[in-house]
Amino acid sequence: IASLPAVVLLFSVGVAFTWFVLLPPALLFLLNFGSDVAEPQIRISKYINLIIMLAFWVGLSFQTPLVMTIFARLGIVTPKGFARRRKLAIVGAFVAGAVFTPTFDPVNQTLLASPIVVLYELGIWLAKLASRRRQKVVESELLGRTD
């Protein structure tokens, strides 16, 4: 419950990122792709579905630092473990960018992968803070029990 404001904030930032940064070039690409062969005819239901799905998945991917912090706080993964898996996370960010974006061009894929990589790095930093805090709590409990 304590992390609910962070969840809402990160999800909202992800949705705003989708609306202001990701959608304009994606729609431009989709509307102009193959325009010399056929005229694009957009159905409003497909357009709304595209926006909702894209905003949902991007908003969900913006939860990365929070999830990493919680895992570090619980002692499931250490910050060093996250740092060792950095290359895998970067590849995963680009795979997510390829899966979540409605186009197959590398510009939109990179537009989505870049903030995920930045959020992963932020998650490592926050995991370090959470890990230090967890260690202090464990040490104080051990010292309290020996008295």
Q: Do the Cβ atoms of 127 and 72 come closer than 8 Å?
A: yes
60-64, 81-85, 124-128, 134-138: least confident range: 134-138
Please, which residues have CB within 8 angstroms of residue 133's CB and are 6 or more apart in sequence? 73
pLDDT digits (tens, 9 = 90+) for 59-108: 999 999 999 999 998 889 999 999 999 999 999 999 988 888 877 788 88
**pLDDT reading at 147 higher than 60:** no
**Which tokens go with 128?**
């370090």
Nearest residue to 79 (alpha-carbon basis) of 64, 69, 89, 92: 69
Quick one: pLDDT at residue 108? Answer: 84
Q: Which amino acid is at 92?
A: G
pLDDT digits (tens, 9 = 90+) for 24-50: 888 888 778 776 777 777 788 988 998
If you write DSSP's letter for every residue of the chain in order, what string do you get?
Answer: -TTHHHHHHHHHHHHHHIIIIIHHHHHHHHHHTTTTT------HHHHHHHHHHHHHHHHHHTTHHHHHHHHHHHTSS-HHHHHHTHHHHHHHHHHHHHHHSSS--HHHHHHHHHHHHHHHHHHHHHHHHHHHHHHHHHHHHHHHHH-
Quick one: pLDDT at residue 145? Answer: 60
Quick one: pLDDT at residue 132? Answer: 86
**CA gyration radius for the chain?**
20
The mean per-residue pLDDT over the stretch 106-132 comes to 92
d(CA 63, CA 16): 14
HSE-CB for 52 with a 13 A CA cutoff: 6
The mean per-residue pLDDT over the stretch 114-141 comes to 88
pTM of the model: 0.82
